[in-house]
Amino acid sequence: MNLSQFENTFSLFNEFVNEVLPDTDRQWRPALSIHDEQDRFVIACELPGVNVDDLHLDVHDGVLEISGERTPPVTSDEVTVRANERASGKFRRRVRLDDAVNKEAIEADYRDGVLYVTAPRMEETMPRRIDVRTHSTG
Amino acid sequence: MNCSTRQSALANPFAVAHRVLERSHRPTQSGPGALSVIEAETGVRFEFDVPGFGSDDITIDVEDGLLVVTGLQKDRDDKGTEVYSERRVGEFRRVLRLDRKLDPSTIEADLKDGVLQISVSRRPEAERRSISIRRPVSDA
């Protein structure tokens, strides 16, 4: 796990760190990443081969929870799994969202087996350029 | 090169033995290219976890009974600054030796929801042929 300090002019005053919470009680721990795209955060979770009906996304008490289940390859008398490196079963990943995140406006897309959760920043925390007014004396 | 998995064809009369030969860019188990091997009487299906890979990012080659699957994510769609990441580097290479019972010309590949499925059918059973010995022609 590496928690890299991101370069941002706000970082001196605020740590916009979304904290990834520990999860040890599930069979599969899908890989997660968090990116700061200036006006929003994108949390990407690798969930290949998951049925959208088995995928749940909740926000509660400031915690984003991605949970669900991936079914293992089907077996029968005629079909056997000869080797398997891919985890399956229940999964749950949780991220404690920072106060800068607008929790009401969270959206999610599932594309090519990756779940992208987009969480925009609260309006007042958006990067703003401040104009310097010049005055002429005389 | 390390031959990691050795499957015995004797254990299951329908088993089609093959070997997973090479694994690179895979520091631990469940990175991109993680594999399931599913066998049936009709053939074998390989399933690879390739989250975030498009069909343009994957190459599948077969030569002399070797199936080589390579993936390279050209356009990792991570914009902005990385705050935290467990996601591994977006590339992998898997080499599998296909058992002779499999017919490489029947390979089919599908990519859906970040899972690459490659299926290979068994060859039809070779027919037995009886060969009779020619009688020498003698002139007498």
B132–A contact, CB cutoff 8 A? no
- Predicted confidence (pLDDT) per residue in B77-104, tens digit: 667 888 888 887 789 999 999 988 899 9
Number of structural domains (chain A) is: 1
Q: Rounded to an integer, what distance in angstroms lies between the CA atom of residue B52 and that of residue B44?
A: 25
pLDDT of residue A74: 81
CATH number at residue A59: 2.60.40.790
Q: Is residue A81 part of a domain?
A: no
Among B83, B88, B97, B110, pick the best mutation site for testing chain A contact (most A Cβ within 10 A): B83
Question: Which one has a higher pLDDT value, B68 or A122?
Answer: B68
- Chain A neighbors of B34, CB-CB under 8 A: 85-86
With beta carbons less than 8 A apart as the criterion, state whether A88 and A99 touch.
no
| CA-wise closest residue to B36 among A76, A49, A52 | A49
Task: Residue A34: give the domain boundaries.
Answer: 18-72+86-122
Please name the residues in contact with B58: beta carbons below 8 A apart, sequence gap of 6 or more.
B50, B69, B70, B71, B111, B116
- Predicted confidence (pLDDT) per residue in B4-27, tens digit: 344 443 344 333 434 444 443 333
**Predicted confidence band at B124 (pLDDT cuts at 50, 70, 90)?**
confident
Q: Is residue A33 part of a domain?
A: yes
Question: Which one has a higher pLDDT value, A18 or A111?
Answer: A111
With beta carbons less than 8 A apart as the criterion, state whether B95 and B67 touch.
yes
Average pLDDT, chain B: 78
| CA-wise closest residue to B117 among A49, A121, A83 | A49
| CA torsion, ordered A68, A73, A77, A83, to nearest 10 deg | -130
Question: Which one has a higher pLDDT value, A72 or B89?
Answer: A72
Q: Rounded to an integer, what distance in angstroms lies between the CA atom of residue A41 and that of residue B5?
A: 42
**Predicted confidence band at A13 (pLDDT cuts at 50, 70, 90)?**
very low
Which residue on chain B is closest to A3 by alpha carbon? B84
Enumerate chain A positions whose Cβ falls within 8 A of a Cβ in B: 1-4, 6-8, 16-18, 20, 31-38, 41-42, 44, 46-50, 73, 75, 78-87, 110, 112-114
Given a cut of 70, whether residue B121 has pLDDT beyond it is yes
pLDDT of residue B17: 38
Of A35, A50, A86, Cβ closest to residue B81:
A35
Domains and CATH numbers, chain B: 19-77+84-118 (2.60.40.790)
- Predicted confidence (pLDDT) per residue in A39-59, tens digit: 899 999 999 999 999 999 999
Read off the pTM: 0.74
Q: Is residue A80 part of a domain?
A: no
Question: Which one has a higher pLDDT value, B2 or B113?
Answer: B113
